[in-house]
C-alpha cells in the first residue's frame, strides 16, 4: 500500500499557487511556514493529504476548488498547513515504527490512539484561530470532507489528512469542539510533546507496570472528556459556590456546543443539538430534564441535524437551522413542540448559508450571520422576520466574517467583533446602529 501511494504522488499533476482560488502564500505566512510546499492533484483521493517531512507535498482532489466555499477551503488548507508546521507526518511515522516493535503492548496502542486524537484537535483549533470564518462554516467544510472520505482508500498510515475519521463518535466530538464558542482554542500541542508521550510509553513498557496494562481506550476517552469539560471553578454537576454576591452553578458537562445565545432570556431554558442523533434538544435548567423537539435527525445518508438555535423572548418559539444533505432551512417550533414550520426553505436560495445568532429583544426578528454566495463569500448580518421570513440586510462584510454578535437590551444597536486588517487573530469591536439602516 505504501509503495502504491508513493507511485500515486509521483504521478500526480503539479499545481501552482495561482490555480487555487485562495491565497495559498498568504495562508503559509499566517501559519509561519517558510518551507517549500509542492501542491499536486490526483483523482485517486477524495480529501487533502500531506506527504513528506522536510519538503512536504500537499495532495488535493481535482474538484477541491469547486466543491468547497472559499471560507471552507481556507480552513481545510490551514488545517493541513498546521500538520506541516508541527511535523506531524514525522510524528506519525515514529508512532507506526514504535507500534511495529511493541505491537504486543497495549500502552503503545493506547498512546497512539490518544496522540492521533489530540493531533487532530490541535490542528482543528489552529485552523479555527487563523481562518477568519465562522465556526459553522468551518464545521460544514469538515462534514463535507467526512461525506467524501469513503472513497479515500489510498491514504497511507503516515500521511496526514483532516478526514481520517472512522466512527460517528469521532465526528460528533470534533463537531462539538468546533461549534462550542465558549471553549478556548488551543493549538499548542507540539512535536516535542508527542515525542515525550511516546518516550513515556516506552518507559512504562520497560518497567512493566501493571497499572498501564489495565488502561482501556474507554478510560482514556473519559480522561480526555473530563479534562475538556472541567470548569475553572472545579465544580461538579449541580454544585454551587458563593463568593460574596457572586454565585456560580455548573449546569451540565454533557450538553455540548452551547453559547450564550442558546440560553433563554429569563435563564430558564437552554437549547442545543444532541450530537448522537442530530436532533434539537430543549433543557429545563432547574430540573435538568431534556425535551426532544425534532425526531428526524440522522448521521446516515443524507445527514440531517440541527445547527444553531435560539429561544425567543417570552419563551414562545425556538428558531433553528435544519441541515439536510446540502440544504439548510430556517425553521420555527413552539417551545412545547407545537406549530413547527419552515420559515425559509433552503431551496429558495433567498439567503444562502446562515447561522442563527439570537432573536431581537422585541421578538419580531431573528438575527443571522450568513453568506449570500458561498463561492464568493459575501458575508453579512441580517434580520429575518419571524412572521413572513422577509430579509433585511443590516451590514455586508465581504470575505471576512464577524465573530460574536449581540443585540443591545433595547434592540437599537448590534455589537460584533471583526478581524483587524484581515488578521483573523486580532479583532476589533464594532457597534451597528440599526435605526440608521
What mean pLDDT do residues 404-413 have? 92
Beta strand 246-249 pairing with 240-243 = antiparallel
Q: 282 has which bridge partners?
A: 271, 291
Kindly list the domain boundaries of the chain, sorted by start residue.
2-226, 255-436
For the entire predicted model, the pTM comes to 0.61
Q: Greater confidence, 30 or 217?
A: 30
Residue 413, phi-psi category: left (phi > 0), alpha (psi -120 to 50), beta (remainder) = beta
Proportion of the chain in helix, strand, coil states, percent, rounded to 5: 35, 25, 40
Confidence of residue 280 (pLDDT cuts 50, 70, 90): very high
* Nearest one of 422, 333, 404 to 367, comparing CA atoms: 404
- pLDDT score at 243: 52
For residue 197, the model assigns a pLDDT of 57
Query: Does 296 have pLDDT greater than 70?
Result: yes
pLDDT, position 151:
47
pLDDT, residue 220, reads 34
Calculate what percentage of the chain has a pLDDT beyond 90. Answer: 21
Q: What is the pLDDT of residue 225?
A: 41
Weakest mean pLDDT among 21-30, 49-58, 254-263: 254-263
Where does the pLDDT of residue 166 fall: very low under 50, low under 70, confident under 90, or very high at 90 and above? low
List the alpha helices (DSSP H) in 68-167: 70-85, 88-101, 106-131, 135-148
Across the range 145-155, mean pLDDT stands at 60
When pLDDT is cut at 50, 70 and 90, the band that residue 191 belongs to is low
Mean pLDDT estimate for the chain: 77
What mean pLDDT is predicted for residues 191-210? 54
pLDDT of 209 above 50 = no
pLDDT value for 70? 81
Confidence of residue 262 (pLDDT cuts 50, 70, 90): confident
What average pLDDT does range 85-91 have in this prediction?
A: 86
Question: Residue range 11-40: average pLDDT?
Answer: 85
Among 221, 200, 228, smallest CA distance to 212 is for 200
Query: Which residues, other chains included, contact 30 with Cβ-Cβ below 8 Å and sequence gap of 6+?
Result: 78, 130, 424
Pairing of strands 38-41, 57-60: parallel
Residues 70 and 40 sit within 8 Å (Cβ to Cβ):
no
pLDDT, tens digit, 9 for 90 and up, residues 217-258: 344 334 334 444 444 444 444 444 455 565 666 666 555 444
What pLDDT band is residue 134 in, cutting at 50, 70 and 90? confident
Q: Is the dihedral of CA 275, 349, 353, 141 positive or negative?
A: positive
DSSP string, 322-352: EEETTEEEEEEEETTS-S-EEEE-GGG-SS-
Q: What is the pLDDT of residues 317-375, one digit of tens each?
A: 999 999 887 788 999 999 999 999 999 988 766 677 788 999 999 999 999 988 765 55
Query: Domain 255-436 is classified in which CATH homologous superfamily?
Result: TolB, C-terminal domain (2.120.10.30)
Query: 103-113, pLDDT tens digit by residue?
Result: 787 878 888 88
**pLDDT value of residue 337:** 93
Inform me whether the pLDDT recorded for 136 exceeds 60. yes
Q: What does the pLDDT read at residue 211?
A: 41
* % of the chain beyond a pLDDT of 70: 72
pLDDT higher than 90, residue 310:
yes
- Whether residue 168 is predicted with pLDDT greater than 90 in this model: the reply is no
* 2 pLDDT above the threshold of 90: no
Beta-strand pair 240-243/57-60? unpaired
Q: Which residue has the higher pLDDT, 241 or 27?
A: 27
Q: Which residues of 313-341 are buried (b: 16+ CB within 10 A; e: fewer)?
A: bebebbbbbbbbeeebbbbbbebeeeeee
Q: Write down the pLDDT at residue 154.
A: 46
Which letter, b or e, does each residue of 292-308 get, where b requires 16 or more Cβ atoms within 10 Å of its Cβ?
ebbeebebeeebbbbbb
pLDDT confidence of residue 54: 82
pLDDT tens digits, one per residue of 45-72: 878 888 888 888 898 888 888 878 788 8
List strand residue ranges (DSSP E) for 160-245, in order.
240-243
Amino acid at each position: 500500500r505504501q509503495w502504491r501511494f508513493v507511485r500515486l504522488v509521483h504521478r500526480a499533476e503539479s499545481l501552482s499557487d495561482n490555480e487555487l482560488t485562495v491565497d495559498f502564500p498568504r495562508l503559509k505566512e499566517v501559519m509561519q511556514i517558510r518551507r517549500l510546499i509542492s501542491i499536486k492533484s490526483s483523482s485517486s483521493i477524495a480529501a487533502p493529504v500531506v506527504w513528506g517531512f522536510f519538503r512536504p507535498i500537499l495532495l488535493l482532489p481535482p474538484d477541491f476548488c469547486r466543491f468547497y466555499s472559499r471560507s471552507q477551503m481556507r480552513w481545510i488548507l490551514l488545517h493541513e498547513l498546521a500538520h506541516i508546521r508541527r511535523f506531524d507526518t514525522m510524528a506519525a511515522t515514529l508512532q507506526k515504527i514504535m507500534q511495529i516493535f511493541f505491537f504486543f503492548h497495549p500502552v503503545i496502542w493506547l498512546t497512539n490512539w490518544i496522540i492521533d486524537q489530540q493531533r487532530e484537535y490541535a490542528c482543528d483549533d489552529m485552523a479555527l484561530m487563523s481562518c477568519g470564518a465562522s465556526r459553522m462554516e468551518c464545521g460544514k467544510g469538515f462534514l463535507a470532507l467526512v461525506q467524501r472520505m469513503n472513497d479515500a482508500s489510498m491514504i497511507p498510515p503516515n500521511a496526514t489528512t483532516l478526514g481520517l475519521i472512522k466512527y460517528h463518535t469521532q465526528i460528533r466530538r470534533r463537531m462539538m469542539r468546533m461549534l462550542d464558542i465558549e471553549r478556548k482554542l488551543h493549538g499548542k500541542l507540539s512535536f516535542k510533546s508527542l515525542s515525550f508521550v511516546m518516550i513515556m510509553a516506552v518507559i512504562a513498557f520497560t518497567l512493566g507496570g501493571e497499572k498501564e496494562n489495565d488502561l482501556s481506550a474507554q478510560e482514556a476517552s473519559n480522561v480526555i472528556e473530563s479534562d475538556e469539560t472541567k470548569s475553572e471553578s472545579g465544580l461538579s454537576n449541580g454544585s454551587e459556590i458563593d463568593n460574596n454576591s457572586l454565585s456560580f452553578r455548573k449546569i451540565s458537562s454533557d450538553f455540548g456546543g452551547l453559547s450564550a445565545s442558546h440560553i433563554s432570556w429569563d435563564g430558564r431554558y437552554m437549547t442545543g443539538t444532541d450530537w448522537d442523533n442530530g436532533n434539537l434538544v430543549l433543557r429545563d435548567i432547574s430540573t435538568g430534564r431534556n425535551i426532544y423537539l425534532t425526531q428526524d435527525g440522522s448521521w446516515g445518508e443524507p445527514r440531517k441535524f440541527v445547527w444553531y438555535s435560539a429561544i425567543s423572548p417570552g419563551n414562545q418559539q425556538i428558531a433553528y437551522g435544519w441541515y439536510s444533505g446540502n440544504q439548510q432551512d430556517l425553521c420555527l417550533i413552539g417551545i412545547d413542540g407545537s406549530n413547527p414550520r419552515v420559515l425559509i426553505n433552503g431551496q429558495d436560495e433567498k439567503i444562502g448559508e446562515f447561522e442563527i445568532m439570537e432573536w431581537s429583544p422585541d421578538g419580531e426578528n431573528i438575527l443571522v450571520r450568513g453568506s449570500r454566495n458561498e463561492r464568493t463569500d459575501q458575508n453579512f448580518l441580517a434580520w429575518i422576520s419571524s412572521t413572513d421570513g422577509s430579509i433585511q440586510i443590516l451590514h455586508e462584510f465581504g470575505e471576512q466574517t464577524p465573530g460574536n454578535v449581540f443585540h443591545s437590551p433595547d434592540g437599537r444597536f448590534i455589537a460584533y467583533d471583526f478581524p483587524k486588517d484581515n488578521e483573523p487573530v486580532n479583532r476589533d469591536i464594532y457597534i451597528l446602529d440599526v435605526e440608521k439602516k
